[in-house]
Amino acid sequence: MKSDSEIARAATLLPIAEIATRAGLDPASIEPYGWFKGKFTPPATLPGAPRGKLILVTGISPTPPGEGKTTTTIGLGDALNLLGHKAIVCLREPSMGPVFGKKGGATGGGFAQVVPMEEINLHFTGDFAAIAQAHNLLAALIDNHIHQGNVLGIDTRRITWRRVLDINDRALRETVVGLGGPANGYAREDRFDIVVASELMAILCLAADLQDLKRRIGQVVVGSTRSGQLVRAADLKAHGALAALLKEAIKPNLVQTLGGSPAFIHGGPFANIAHGCSSVIATRAALSLADYAITEAGFGADLGAEKFIDIKCRTAGLKPAAAVIVATVRALKYHGGLDLPDLSQENPGAIERGLVNLERHARNLADTFGLSAIVALNHFAGDRPGEVELIRERMGQIGVPVIEARHWAEGGAGAQALAREVVRVAAASRPLTFAYPDEASLAEKIESVARRIYHASGASYGPGVAKQLKGFAEAGYGHLPVCIAKTPYSFSTDAERRGAPVDHVLHIREVRLSAGAGFVVAISGDVMTMPGLPAHPASEHIDIDELGNITGIS
């Protein structure tokens, strides 16, 4: 079998103007970035009100062998188009942190990819660079304001705005800036986050348009004074300049799948440290243009789907018609206790034990959010018919259909059975509900997610966290949803606990106010907002030949 890079490179791509026509966009409205990428401005190009159904693709708790959510999202979009429906895929942009780190690329795989693959995985259209520049401009303006006399009275001990970089670099988690004497400002401790954890990334993905983006940026809280008064980006007169830097980045990107389906790729917040969804602007555009908008939320349903619904859908008034939970036979064996070398062995007992993870995700979607689910069993060559039938029978007992999908090897043709089931289930969607009401306190919202989604016995708080939550509420932010940052690999905060653990405690060690984005981040366990590189990063396998062909991204 050819590598993902070889498959993508062998494909004959359509000009971006033709993809725009397939999407229902005026080709003249596309701003080309080369032959096969483009940006568009939805308000100037979209006809009428939203008409399509929103399909959410999520997954079980991630495992080392992988599940293939992005691949499934792409394959499902291609399959719907092959069946005569009009579908547009909505994905997040890859971060170069994972591309060069542990995960690798994020453009699908096999014959279910978005292309041009290497360009999307690397610099793409420059959106992440623009977000980093805008974010770090605000950091520079804060330090410059203090250096120039500090009229606002910012307390240097209470600056909450960190700097960002789109590369995993653990050495920058804790830093000191301003060294070298008075000409360089005041020395103080500082920290770096990865770009995908930036509040500006969240704002770009939740903003309705450019003016809403600028308004939200103005509301960003960067720190406080000695008396505790909050200082915002608008107080520094920074929001106009930051919005100007993001003028192009807020426009959705248009590319294509290997099957020739239109794909909107826009924004890229991580689901373990942010809200993990592509932009509201791109999603609304797809719903206005297509019968089905197929979008993906990051990591497992306990993180990505919960935040997709409780934050993105709540904020934007969106409603999924159905959810697809991606699983594999190998991943279920892993959750059943087998280690990587043993996953190819036939072991019904391990599948039985691992199915508790899949069942919990499906029940959470139905019981908490009222969302009907379909399991997409992403096929691998070593899967046995008896293993697949065991999964189908077990999930059938709780009324959840299981469809084996072969899109990795066959493209959209291998996902047509899944597409037919999605159409059937989406036709009878139920009202959407949330994990907590707006009027609940911030602590009650955290507790609700802990108990209803993670099946914890409750939540606990590190020193000062309860006081901070109370302070956020007193400042007028108690109505905001919560965005819990935790490990994606377990329902608990311990990444090693597989399956469906119960009666663990969700410990919140830190909370951050994202006033512009419109949520409160609650950081639990040992999750980091600036990841580090593994012992053997993916960058070791990435190369470029004398013809300029990039290899090793997968």
- Close Cβ partners of 222 (under 8 Å, ≥ 6 residues apart): 138, 142, 154, 159, 160, 161, 231, 232, 233, 236
Given CATH 3.40.605.10, say whether it is the number of domain 4-126+251-426: no
Gap between the Cα atoms of 166 and 168, Å rounded: 7
Q: Give the residue among 25, 68, 88 at the shortest CA–CA distance from 294.
A: 88
Respond yes or no: is residue 49 known to be catalytic.
no
Exactly one of 9, 22, 102, 103 is catalytic; name it. 103
Provide the β-strand partners of residue 323. Answer: 56, 373
**Single pTM value for the model:** 0.95
Phi, psi of 14 (to 5 degrees): -85, 150
The class of domain 127-245 in CATH terms is alpha beta
Respond yes or no: is residue 509 known to be catalytic.
no
Respond yes or no: is residue 71 known to be catalytic.
yes
Gap between the Cα atoms of 336 and 354, Å rounded: 4
| CATH superfamily to which 442-524 belongs | Formyltetrahydrofolate synthetase, domain 3 (3.10.410.10)
Exactly one of 92, 232, 251, 498 is catalytic; name it. 92
As given in the structure block, the two tokens for residue 39 are 């940006």
Exactly one of 37, 69, 232, 445 is catalytic; name it. 69
Q: Which residue has the tokens 């959010």?
A: 369
As given in the structure block, the two tokens for residue 225 are 């004074």
Q: Which amino acid is at 492?
A: S
**Which pLDDT value is given to residue 147?**
94
Half-sphere exposure of 515 (CA within 13 A, CB side): 21
Exactly one of 23, 271, 443, 456 is catalytic; name it. 271
- Close Cβ partners of 380 (under 8 Å, ≥ 6 residues apart): 328, 329, 330
Domain extent listing, the chain: 4-126+251-426, 127-245, 442-524
- Close Cβ partners of 115 (under 8 Å, ≥ 6 residues apart): 8, 11, 13, 36, 107, 255, 256, 257, 258
Gap between the Cα atoms of 201 and 51, Å rounded: 27
Exactly one of 40, 408, 434, 472 is catalytic; name it. 408
- Close Cβ partners of 496 (under 8 Å, ≥ 6 residues apart): 489, 490
Provide the β-strand partners of residue 512. Answer: 521
**Which pLDDT value is given to residue 44?**
55
- Close Cβ partners of 243 (under 8 Å, ≥ 6 residues apart): 210, 213, 214, 217
Phi, psi of 506 (to 5 degrees): -85, 105
Q: Give the residue among 121, 92, 119, 136 at the shortest CA–CA distance from 34.
A: 119
For 321-374, give the DSSP string. EEEEEEE-HHHHHHHTT--GGGTTS--HHHHHHHHHHHHHHHHHHHHHH---EE
Respond yes or no: is residue 69 known to be catalytic.
yes
Exactly one of 45, 63, 70, 71 is catalytic; name it. 71
Q: What is the pLDDT along the chain (554 residues), one digit of tens a residue?
A: 788 888 988 999 999 999 999 999 999 999 999 999 999 988 555 555 568 999 999 999 999 988 999 999 999 999 999 999 999 999 999 998 888 988 778 899 999 999 999 999 999 999 999 999 999 999 999 999 999 999 999 999 999 999 999 999 999 999 999 999 888 888 999 999 999 999 999 999 999 999 999 999 999 999 999 999 999 999 999 999 999 999 999 999 999 999 999 999 999 998 888 999 999 999 999 999 999 999 999 899 999 999 999 999 999 999 999 999 999 999 999 999 999 999 999 999 999 999 999 999 999 999 999 999 999 999 998 899 999 999 999 999 999 999 999 999 999 999 999 999 999 999 997 899 999 999 999 999 999 999 999 999 999 999 999 999 999 999 999 999 999 999 999 999 999 999 999 999 999 999 999 999 999 999 999 888 999 999 999 898 899 999 888 888 87
Respond yes or no: is residue 519 known to be catalytic.
no
Alpha helices in 106-238 (DSSP H): 117-121, 127-147, 199-206, 210-218
Enclosing H/E stretch for 190: strand 188-190
Exactly one of 161, 264, 380, 491 is catalytic; name it. 380
As given in the structure block, the two tokens for residue 379 are 């096929």
CA 157 to chain centre: 31
**Which pLDDT value is given to residue 281?**
96
Gap between the Cα atoms of 228 and 472, Å rounded: 11
Respond yes or no: is residue 161 known to be catalytic.
no
Tell me 451's DSSP state.
Answer: H
Q: Which amino acid is at 66?
A: G
In 434-455, which positions are buried (b, 16+ CB within 10 angstroms) versus exposed (e)? bbbeeebebbebbbbbbebbbb
Gap between the Cα atoms of 237 and 130, Å rounded: 19
Phi, psi of 280 (to 5 degrees): -60, -40
Exactly one of 124, 264, 299, 434 is catalytic; name it. 299
Q: Which residue has the tokens 């290997």?
A: 258
**Which pLDDT value is given to residue 47?**
57
3 state DSSP class of 460: strand
